[in-house]
Structure 1
Amino acid sequence: MEILDTDHIEMFVGDARQAARQLCATLGFHVYGQGGPETGLAGQRSVLLGQRDIRILLTSGLSGDHRASRYVAQHGDGVAVVGFGCTDVEAAFAEAVAAGAVVVEAPRRFEHDGSTVVTAEVSGFGDVTHRLVQRTTGDGQFLPGAIDMSVAPEAPTDADLLHTIDHAAICLQAGELDPTVQYYERVFGFTMIFQEYIEVGEQGMQSKVVQSPSGGVTFTLIQPDLSRRAGQIDDFLAWHEGAGVQHIAYSTHDIVTAVRTFSARGMEFAETPTSYYDMLEARLGPVDVPVAQLSPLGILVDRDHWGQMYQIFAKSMHIRRTYFSELIDRHGARTFGTSNIPALYAAKERELAAVRDTTDGLRG
């Protein structure tokens, strides 16, 4: 099986048009197309967003028994499908099913005005599935005939600050980590490229990273250590009601400009204590981006054998405080901010503590 890249993600949301407006207003996405009953997508309304090589399909059910409606009722808005670009969907589908994947949708052809896209869908983790996608033409059509490309994708400009999906971070129930790693190795041919145990105060969690042979798809898988104090992973699993995508990391080539731009548009980012920067260069050595630019914005820095990496995590904009976004700017680095993970979870813990305090105050 040859998996090329993350073709797209599909989010099931309560209101696709409202979610589209929010992502366009804050992160600079563009509406590329729409679909619904009039285009053969029975029982749903979908909006396709894009920016450079990123595609996000937002889908809302139009009735309570639609798959998207059931997902939102249980989990809230979130990533429900991660699409894998493939060279041969029918072969990949047959191989995945033979290796133990559950069939969600058999291979299907979308054809319109000379464009052809073949898809199939199989099980992933929790309620998240994987859509295998084979694109035979480079005309920008997403699902020919099903998504009306009302606005043709334009050539990227300097205003388009996000480039690709770097990775997805996934929260799993305790005991699901190793079986999930084995599933992706067996079914999709992924390889585990990194693992670590993370301690944040009295909390603990185990993380393993799996990646496709092409390097185009990367999942960071995390499960809580139940022998330690409950923390934000436990909160996510409780509020999301099961395993799911905690965040999507978008790559940018200028994280300082991106954070400044998105902050000005109303996006809030996790705060980083100023003390983090006091010993930054003593810990990592000289960094490419001046600390004076990083500190006011709260951007984190890490270094590995290949280079440096800059990252920051947005605060969740969802009512359940579950799904959020990450920005990541790689200066050669290939890993995921090992020394920054405790800083992330400490920041998220402060955010969640503030939410708990507010909730307790309302109850009082």
Structure 2
Amino acid sequence: MESVKTKKIFETAEDFLPINGTDYIELYVGNAKQAAHYYKSAFGFQSVAYCGLETGNKEKVSYVLEQGKIRLVLTSPLVKDGLINDHINLHGDGVKVIALWVDDATKAWEEATKRGAKSYFSPKKDKDENGFVITSGIHTYGDTVHIFVERYHYNGPFLPGYKSWNEEYNPPGVGLKYVDHMVGNVEWGEMNTWCEFYAKVMGFTQLVSFDDKDISTEYTALMSKVMSNGNGRIKFPINEPADGKKRSQIEEYINFYNGAGVQHIAVATENIIETVSALRRRGVEFLHVPDNYYDNVLERVGEIDEDLKPLRDLNILIDRDDEGYLLQIFTKPVVSRPTMFFEIIQRKGAQSFGKGNFKALFEAIEREQEQRGTL
């Protein structure tokens, strides 16, 4: 993979370590084989690479899946004790690694650690017959880590140590293109700490801030700030709980995840109606907003290209900012605990995150919390 020069669109980002995009997202899961089947069958990901006993790895097994530019790695332990086991026992299935594609993994690690990042591992070079990859890593909120991946001297299926995973069963994709953003939930009073981390350690800039007046219902509230790198390819909203009459979704997440972690992965599509229709047919469950949400939505957002009826039928939300509008919908949790979920988003010019939908969305989440007895 060749080095890529990307255009800086947010001038206030200092970009100490230029990032080309999301390289992969690794989830530690209880049963990687079955999880891989779920993401293929339900979300339309395709088999790419594998490591495990057959490749000489006696500690863990990993399945690598792709759709568009989205790459998921699903990893389970092969032994009874160890760090992966500890992560699953504490958090349940969840994101361990947000890997970032960089031109220089050594310089990225040096820049981050000298500005205060805690090292996860120092730069290392792995090679096989397909070339070599240099990686390094730092810690971020909770047990989540960032791994910097320098791969333009490598042309294998994923990383050294993996082999191509060729399987006949590969359901067609559903139109998912790339990771739009990834949301982290952190504990009370920690939002500004981690926003400062992304600004000072990684050179990100703050795009937007939401307080408990922006994101609240009668019962619950939260606060959020969105951090982005200079080219806008990496966006990390950071949420923390705020005081409310009842327990917010952020508190529920932290209670069940036992700490800070990735709340949801937002993936982009160019046709949300087709994508969500396909996902629903495959059994993916989405949050339901009241039908009266659509009674005056066009008065709020103005003219859109799509007919309202299919959006209403599919429960897709609409919002507008100064740049355009967006369409979005949120799955129910895709793991056993009420923690991680996905957002499907289509941007028609809008650069924002659906502020106008927050109240309807949070009320929908509260209804789910009430059924779980965690509100």
Residue aligning to 1:362: none
Q: 1:151 aligns with which of 166, 170, 181?
A: 166
Following TM superposition, by how much is the alpha carbon of 1:141 offset from its aligned partner in structure 2, in angstroms? 3.0
Is structure 2 residue 345 aligned with structure 1 residue 328?
yes
**Contact 1:272-1:347 at 8 Å conserved across structures:** yes
Is structure 2 residue 270 aligned with structure 1 residue 242?
no
**Contact 1:30-1:51 at 8 Å conserved across structures:** yes
The 5-angstrom pairing of residues 1-364 of structure 1 reads: 1-39=17-55, 41-137=57-153, 139=155, 141-144=157-160, 146-151=161-166, 159-197=173-211, 198-226=215-243, 228-356=245-373
Can you give the 5+ residue segments of structure 1 that lack an aligned partner in the other structure? 360-364
Compared with structure 1, are the counterparts of its residues 225 and 148 closer, same or farther at alpha carbon in structure 2 (3 Å cutoff)?
Answer: same
**Contact 1:174-1:226 at 8 Å conserved across structures:** no
C-alpha distance in 2 between matches for 1:336 and 1:138: 35
**Contact 1:11-1:78 at 8 Å conserved across structures:** yes
SS at match of 2:164: coil
C-alpha distance in 1 between matches for 2:358 and 2:22: 24
Identity of aligned residues (%): 34
Can you give the 5+ residue segments of structure 2 that lack an aligned partner in the other structure? 1-16
C-alpha distance in 2 between matches for 1:277 and 1:44: 48
Q: In structure 1, what residue type is equivalent to 2:164?
A: M
TM-score by length of 2: 0.90
Runs of 4+ in structure 1 displaced over 6 angstroms?
none
Following TM superposition, by how much is the alpha carbon of 1:4 offset from its aligned partner in structure 2, in angstroms? 1.4
C-alpha distance in 2 between matches for 1:9 and 1:260: 25
Following TM superposition, by how much is the alpha carbon of 1:38 offset from its aligned partner in structure 2, in angstroms? 4.5
**Contact 2:64-2:73 at 8 Å conserved across structures:** yes
SS at match of 1:94: helix
C-alpha distance in 1 between matches for 2:252 and 2:319: 27
Which one is further off, 175-184 or 348-357? 348-357
Compared with structure 1, are the counterparts of its residues 126 and 107 closer, same or farther at alpha carbon in structure 2 (3 Å cutoff)?
Answer: same
C-alpha distance in 2 between matches for 1:265 and 1:39: 32
Which one is further off, 281-290 or 17-26? 281-290
C-alpha distance in 2 between matches for 1:30 and 1:264: 18
Root mean square deviation, CA, Å: 1.9
**Contact 2:99-2:149 at 8 Å conserved across structures:** yes
**Contact 2:45-2:173 at 8 Å conserved across structures:** no
SS at match of 2:163: coil
SS at match of 1:49: strand
Q: In structure 2, what residue type is equivalent to 1:266?
A: G
**Contact 1:62-1:69 at 8 Å conserved across structures:** no
SS at match of 2:373: helix
C-alpha distance in 1 between matches for 2:268 and 2:247: 31
Following TM superposition, by how much is the alpha carbon of 1:206 offset from its aligned partner in structure 2, in angstroms? 0.8
**Contact 1:48-1:58 at 8 Å conserved across structures:** yes
Following TM superposition, by how much is the alpha carbon of 1:344 offset from its aligned partner in structure 2, in angstroms? 1.6
**Would you say how many aligned residue pairs link Structure 1 and Structure 2?**
354
Q: In structure 1, what residue type is equivalent to 2:195?
A: V
Q: In structure 2, what residue type is equivalent to 1:93?
A: W
C-alpha distance in 1 between matches for 2:358 and 2:80: 39
Which has the bigger relative contact order, CA under 8 A and spacing at least 6?
A: 2
Q: In structure 2, what residue type is equivalent to 1:283?
A: R
SS at match of 2:206: strand
**Contact 1:167-1:220 at 8 Å conserved across structures:** yes
TM-score by length of 1: 0.93
C-alpha distance in 2 between matches for 1:122 and 1:65: 23
**Per-residue deviation, residues 83-137 of structure 1 (Å, max 9, x unmatched):** 0111101011111111111111111222122422111111011100000001114
SS at match of 1:200: coil
C-alpha distance in 2 between matches for 1:39 and 1:131: 22
C-alpha distance in 2 between matches for 1:279 and 1:44: 52
